[in-house]
Structure 1
Amino acid sequence: MPAENLLAIDNGTQSVRALLFDPRGNLLAKQRIPIESYYSEGPGLAEQDPLVFWNAVCQACQGLWQQPGVDRGSIAAVALTTQRSTLVNVDREGRPLRPAIHWLDQRETKGLKPVSGLWGLAFALAGASDTVAYLQAEAEVNWIRKFQPEIWDKTYKYLFLSGYLTFMLTGRFVDSVGSQVGYVPFDYKTQKWAGKHDWKWQAVPMDPRVLPELVPPGQPLGEITPEAAAATGIPVGLKLIAAAADKACEVIGSGALDPHIACLSYGTTATINTTHDRYIEIIPLIPPYPSAVPGAYNLELQIFRGYWMVSWFKQEFGHEERLRASEQGVEAEIFFDELVRQAPPGSDGLVLQPYWSPGLRKPGPEARGAVIGFADVHTRAHLYRAILEGLAYALREGAERTSKSSGVKIEALRVAGGGSQSDAGMQLTADVFGLAASRPHVYEASGLGAAIDAAVGIGLHPDFASAVREMTRVSQTFEPDPKVHAIYDELYAKVYLKMYDRLKPLYQAMQKLGG
């Protein structure tokens, strides 16, 4: 029997998974290795030893081979998807020169020389100078060059985590176009490294030679080396096919290939994504990201630390649920659906704005989280429901901005990530949007998206439309309740959408006070 199964390696924020899929998108086997997301040696810093990620990849793969019925000889290709924007400096031999800078890192580099010349003038005339300065301050390479020049001088390649793991698997300094999400001189419109006169080379100065070769999704990155095969157990010589970053893979893994279908990701960062074949900036200078489909774009809006807020609530207010979970040997999250049902839709007027960790996309960097409407009737159940409602409001606002910018109305939702496992959360999402919300047939949607790239890359399916049609489907759909949607509609329009503008002066005052 010819080899036709697909190995997907998914390096997320909290774990690394080795996943075996068949050509129909069925998950045949899975091995998960938890990892420490990062360590911090100062306020806002988040770093990790790159070998933590690589060792977890090896453990996950080796564990997969021990499972009943798993045949390494059945694997036709491998694909890799990883967390976005985690960066690794390596020497000529691919050895890390410093800890990886994690995507949750919040360091900034102040006092940088602004972009000058015609580009600087153009940004000033367009009122975009502050946006460019923000991007410069956020760029990790600028921090390394200023505070660790000896590291930068020794850097042979500057890689995202995807590029580092690709090197460990293939011995080549190459990465997928679909993984280029971060502060590097990448032209998101052409999906290539920026041209030599592009302003990005001023904003994040570097020698182009420190960047890896780029390969479109669905094309080979290389072959598994004997050294990688010994460490992981993956058959030597097997092709590693370019996939994309985890969010991009999650989009196609959930079946959201049509621009009328939005993929909501209820993960550490909550996002709304749609796939388009046109380059569209929802916010000026903030580009759409590369899709897991070559030449396509993901129009994305983010709620940074989105479903992190659920973990925060569990830690700070969920003692009862954690205790019950411990006694019964289950995950605490299964009890939180009960909390949602203890409070009515609209949380009796308690409204949350989920800007706990604002960024540049929306809102501005001055924003803070807010909860308004407290009264004596409110309980922790109301607060928990208000968190879920606030996240759904923010993503609905993102959907409306996306539709306005693209001219394509969003008509259906696919919901992935940890939060998608909550029936109450799924129903709440459908009710806030007034749209059917569907759960993909597998929880591992990002891994499935990587497998789809591999399947097309080796010809198991002739194109991405066919692969998505054959390998994805929904397991359950939640239809909106018209009466509940009417409640949310009124709160969204009359309260939520007005909160940011009303509170912005207070946020700005707090920012000046250093609070």
Structure 2
Amino acid sequence: MGTKYIIGVDNGSQSSKVTIFDTEGRVVSEGKQALRPMNLPKPGHVEHPDDDLWESIVIACRKAMENFTGNPNDIIGVGLCTIRFCRALLREDGRLAYPVLSWMDVRVSSPYEHEDDSVRYVTTSSGYITHRFTDRFVDTAANYQGQWPIDTDTWDWSDDPEVIKHFQIPKEMLFQLQMPGTVLGKVTAEASWETGIPTGLPVIATANDKAVEALGSGSLEGHTALVSLGTYIAAMIHGPKNLKETSHLWTNFSSVPNRYLYESFGIRRGMWTVSWLTKLLGGGVASEARELGISAEELLNREASQVPPGCNGLMTVLDWLAPSDAPYKRGSILGFNASHTRAHMYRSILEAIALTMKNRTDEMCQELGIELESLVLSGGGSKSDLMVQIFADVFGKPVSRNVFSDAAGLGSAILVATALGIYDSVDEAVQYMVKRQDTVQPIAENYAFYQKFNEEVYRTIPHYSSDEIYKRAYSIFGD
């Protein structure tokens, strides 16, 4: 048998990425398309404009297929991973009745309200995109967390009438659920014409984007945590039990049927904040970077690597996107003096991400009774050597990253390879398809500094919170 290929679709919060892998996890071709800016029709409402999710996937698919030099007949399947916590309202024919609600939209944190009689189905982003690919009203069970009437023990819709009543979605408006690693359907002629993907390829169910990313990172062991450095940042550890009523973590579906993913409390708009600062610094950074032939982020990483740990007292509090239960919160950068530069600001944000995740990961591990031994970083932020070293120094643990940073795309491919019999199990597929790039060890002196700084200063910031000031300002300015 010659070389076979797998398409991994990763529809994220900022872009859609489509990667064609061989069955050993090597990247053969890629395509990427940025998502359009969100529509913000009123405070708290955050919508993906028009049909942006599907259109971005179409463009990314076409780019990947155009760059593919192999035989399309050797592509064996498609793994589909999309953003979690979105809500898609569909008409009878499966097309959008309303723009997809982002996970940042306050409405997805509340039970569904039926306000438009043209809405026939209420589903997730993965349900909607599955229909676009296959013309079937089916979806992965593992992307239903939050405001859905699902039984997290059985991975199926609840039979409790009170649960159905609470979430206000009748069963006839819900898609049929399937387990990760099963065939959702086949690519239709229409979807093939739009995307360039061959007609008839099986589309394999995966899970929510964080769970697929965890699988693609290879972090299946109970003493290794994945920290996903994306728009939303969280630490995750696989486990066998559906833990409930926890204090410092929540239990998510994993990409493996009947297994779970324990997830720490996270950072909303995490790596987005890094991009925000880069854009805020403007054309000067961009032009300097162009002269050096590097990106603006790489220029700032180089400069920030010369800044000592602690940034001479500059500290960042990462509340750039307030939670729905505390809409008054705002982000802060504290402790400026005349010595500080753009590099200090940039490193301060990176340190804030690492320190915040250190504290939240510690709380999760203490509740689980786990002694953490190592970390894996994934997502765009893991490409920064400086960020990886800061995480190693803050956690005092070895930190690894993989050859391929788009772990969600690889996780999708792993599930395809398992579903179609290339490997006998998910664990075997991970062994062959996930490849480590490097492992960074903590610098003892820096770890000692961050321990002291965290315990005596950074961890105490919430006790001296500016929330009262922000509450007063919120009454004037709003969001």
Aligned to 2:103: 103
| TM-score where L is the length of structure 2 | 0.92
Aligned-pair CA distance for 1:22:
1.3
User: In the TM superposition, what whole-angstrom CA distance separates every residue of 1:310-334 from its partner, at most 9, and x where no partner exists?
Assistant: 0121122354321223445642111
Structure 2 Cα separation of the partners of residues 72 and 42 of structure 1: 45
Deviation at 1:271, TM superposition (A): 1.5
**2:363 aligned residue:** 401
Matched, 1:501 2:460: no
Partner of 1:419: 381
Q: Residue 185 of structure 2 corresponds to which residue in structure 1?
A: 222
Structure 2: tracts of 5 or more residues without a match: none
C-alpha contact (below 8 Å) 2:142/2:179 kept by paired residues: yes
Match of 2:109 in 1: 138
Q: CA separation of 1:205/1:514 partners in 2, compared to 1, >3 Å: closer, same or farther?
A: farther
The answer as to 2:297 corresponding to 1:333 is yes
More off after superposition, 96-105 vs 72-81 = 96-105
Which residue in the other structure is 1:161 paired with?
A: 125
Deviation, structure 1 residue 168: 1.0
CA shift for structure 1 position 214: 1.0
CA distance in 1, matches of 2:398, 2:184: 38
User: Are residue 7 (structure 1) and residue 7 (structure 2) matched?
Assistant: yes
Q: Hey, what's the Cα distance between the residues in 1 that align with 2:96 and 2:475?
A: 39
8 Å contact from structure 1 (residues 262, 410) kept in 2: yes
Give the whole-Å Cα distance in 2 for the aligned partners of 1:13 and 1:79. 18
Which whole-Å CA distance do the structure 2 matches of 1:35 and 1:87 have between them? 17
**Within-5 A mapping of 1:209-358:** 209-281=172-244, 283-284=246-247, 287-300=250-263, 301-327=265-291, 330-358=294-322
Moved more, 90-99 or 363-372: 363-372
User: Paired residue for 1:206?
Assistant: 169
Amino acid at match of 2:196: G
Point out where structure 1 has 5 or more consecutive residues left out of the alignment: 109-136
Q: 1:391 to 1:198 in 2, by over 3 A?
A: farther
**In the alignment, what sits opposite 2:339?**
377
Whether the 8 Å contact between 2:29 and 2:65 is mirrored in structure 1 is: no
The reply on whether 1:174 has 2:113 as its aligned counterpart is: no
- Percent sequence identity over aligned pairs: 31
Partner residue, 1:90: 90
CA distance in 1, matches of 2:62, 2:307: 46
Counterpart code for 1:317: L
Contact 2:382 2:401 in 1 (8 A): yes
Superposition deviation, residue 39 in structure 1: 2.4
Are the equivalent residues in 2 in contact too, given 1:366–1:507 (CA < 8 A)?
A: no
Quick one: which amino acid aligns to residue 291 of structure 1?
A: S
Q: Which of 424-433 and 240-249 deviates more?
A: 240-249
Counterpart CA distance in 2 for 1:141 and 1:468 is 38
Residue 424 of structure 2 corresponds to which residue in structure 1?
A: 462
Determine helix, strand or coil for the equivalent of 2:206. Answer: coil
How many correspondences in the alignment? 476
What SS does the aligned partner of 2:389 have?
helix
Deviation at 1:366, TM superposition (A): 5.4
Correspondence for 1:437: 399
Quote the Cα distance in structure 2 between the aligned partners of 1:50 and 1:70: 34
SS at match of 1:236: coil
Aligned residue for 1:113?
none
Give the match's secondary structure for 2:51.
helix
1:358, distance to aligned residue in structure 2 (A)? 3.5
Q: In 2, are the aligned partners of 1:64 and 1:70 still within 8 Å (CA)?
A: no
What amino acid sits opposite 1:223 in the alignment? K
The CA distance in 1 between the partners of 2:463 and 2:244, in whole Å, is 22
Q: Any idea what the Cα deviations from partners look like across 1:116-150, whole Å, max 9, x if unmatched?
A: xxxxxxxxxxxxxxxxxxxxx832723xx3xxx2x
Normalising to structure 1: TM-score of the pair? Answer: 0.86
